[in-house]
Structure 1
C-alpha cells in the first residue's frame, strides 16, 4: 500500500472511530434510499391508476392522498349500525343475496376510493350507466343531476334543490344520493340507511369509505362494488333505489 493510500485509510478509520453513529446512518441510507425511491415511484403510479376524483391526478393530489392515509378507518365492521336508533330498512332482506367470491381489492390510497380488480365488462358498464340515468329521470320530484359535491367532477344524483333534507345524514352527505365512477371501475358511492348499510356490508356488496363516520362523511356513506353480470346489476339497482328512498326521504321511488 502506498504512503498516500495508507494515509487515506487511516484518516477514514479515525473518522469512523470518532463518529460511529454518523457513519452507520450514512451506510444505512445508502442501502435504504434506493428501496424507498422505488416504493414512492410505485406508490405514485398506483395513485394515478385510480383515476381522477376530487383531488388533482398529479403530484399535488398524491401528496394530499398520502397525508390523508393516517386518518383512514377500517371499512367492514357493522356494530355501529346495530347501535343506531334508526332501525328502518329500505332494502328487502330477501332481495340481497350473498355476493359470490371474495371482495375486490381497493386501492392503498382512499382518495380516490376505488376498487382495483374484478372490473366489469364494457357491456356491463354501459348497462349500469343506463340504470343510473333511468332512475334519475324517473324521480324528478326527488332528484336532480349535478356535479358530485364529494368528487367534484362526476355526475351525481342529489336531492332536488327545492326539496328539504329529510335528516341530518343527508345534510352530512352534502345532499348527494349516489354517483358512480365512469373512468376506471364503475363502482358507486351511495348513502344508505344504517340497517341497509349493515346488510350490504355483511353480504359482501360494499364497504364504508375509510373516512365514513368522521366529520368528512357520515358512517352511512358506502362504496358499492362494481357489478359483473346480470344478477349483480339487479342487486346494485335495488341498492340504488334504496339509496334514493333513504336520502330523499321517500318510500315512493321509481
Structure 2
C-alpha cells in the first residue's frame, strides 16, 4: 500500500510540475554528453576558434553547416578556376598511401586527425622542412611567412603582396598552407582542382567540412574554396617528403608559377 501511495504521489507531482521535471531530466541526460563533447573539443588543441566554451559553441554551430569531405565529384566542375589547365603534381604522384584513412575530429573546426599520428620527433622534422621550404619560397619573392589567418595559431605561407592574386588566393586571404604544429602534424593546403583529386584518390587527404560555405566569408572575411584540403600527418621520412611535395604544388598553384622551386 505504501509503495502505491508513493507512486501515486510521484505521479501527482509530475503532473503538477511537468515542465520543471522534464527540464531536470533533460539536463541530467544532456549535461554529461555536453561536458564530454567539450573535453573532446579541447583535446584537439588550440585552432582557429577560441580555445574555450565560446569556441566550442561556435564549432557545434558550424557543424550544422558541415558538408561531406571525401567526394571528389566537385573537381569535375569545369567552371572551377584553372580547371581547363593541368595540375602541378608530377605524373604518377602521389603514390597510394599505405593505410586506410585516419579518423578525424567530429567538429569541423578545428579539423584534426585523431589516430595514425606521428611521434613528436617526426612532427618536428615536418615543421623544419615546412619552414625551410617557406624560407626558400620567400627568398624567391613568391610567398610571405606569417601567422595563419585561418588557424590563428600557426605560421603559414601567404602569396606575396608583390604578386597578382588570382580568385582562389583572394578567397583565402592569400593563405597557401600551414602545418598544425600541436598534437597531430596535419596540414591545410590549397591545390589545383586536378591535384586535389589526385591527392584524395591516393588517400593522402580530404576536403574541409566547410569548403564552399558562404557563411565564413560574412563571419571572418575569408572562405574556404573546394581546393582547400587537409593533408594527413606524415608518420615517417618518406611520407614527410610526399607532404612537402604537395606543399610545393600548393605554392605553385597559389602564386601562379610552375617549377619555380626547382
- Please report the TM-score for the alignment, with normalisation by the length of structure 2: 0.86
Larger Rg: 1
Structure 1 unaligned residues grouped into runs of 5+: none
Structure 2 unaligned residues grouped into runs of 5+: 215-222
Paired residue secondary structure (1:76): coil
Which residue pairs with 2:184 in the alignment?
185
Which residue pairs with 1:105 in the alignment?
103
Paired residue secondary structure (1:232): helix
- String of CA shifts for 1:145-195, please: whole Å, max 9, x gaps: 011111122110001122220x21111111111000111111000000001
**What RMSD, in angstroms, separates the aligned Cα atoms of the two structures?**
2.5
Q: Cα distance 1:11–1:125, how it changes in 2: closer, same or farther (>3 A)? A: closer
- String of CA shifts for 1:191-211, please: whole Å, max 9, x gaps: 000010011111110011101
Instruction: Work out whether 1:207 is the aligned partner of 2:203.
Output: no
Which residue pairs with 1:69 in the alignment?
63
- String of CA shifts for 1:22-75, please: whole Å, max 9, x gaps: 38x936953x54332221111000000011112111111111111111101000
Q: Cα distance 1:249–1:7, how it changes in 2: closer, same or farther (>3 A)? A: closer
After TM superposition, the structure 1 = structure 2 runs for residues 48-87 of structure 1, keeping only pairs within 5 Å, are 48-85=42-79, 86=83, 87=85
Which residue pairs with 2:234 in the alignment?
227
* 1:241–1:253 Cα contact (<8 Å) kept: no
* 1:156–1:177 Cα contact (<8 Å) kept: yes
Paired residue secondary structure (2:92): helix
Q: Cα distance 1:130–1:70, how it changes in 2: closer, same or farther (>3 A)? A: same
Which residue pairs with 1:22 in the alignment?
18
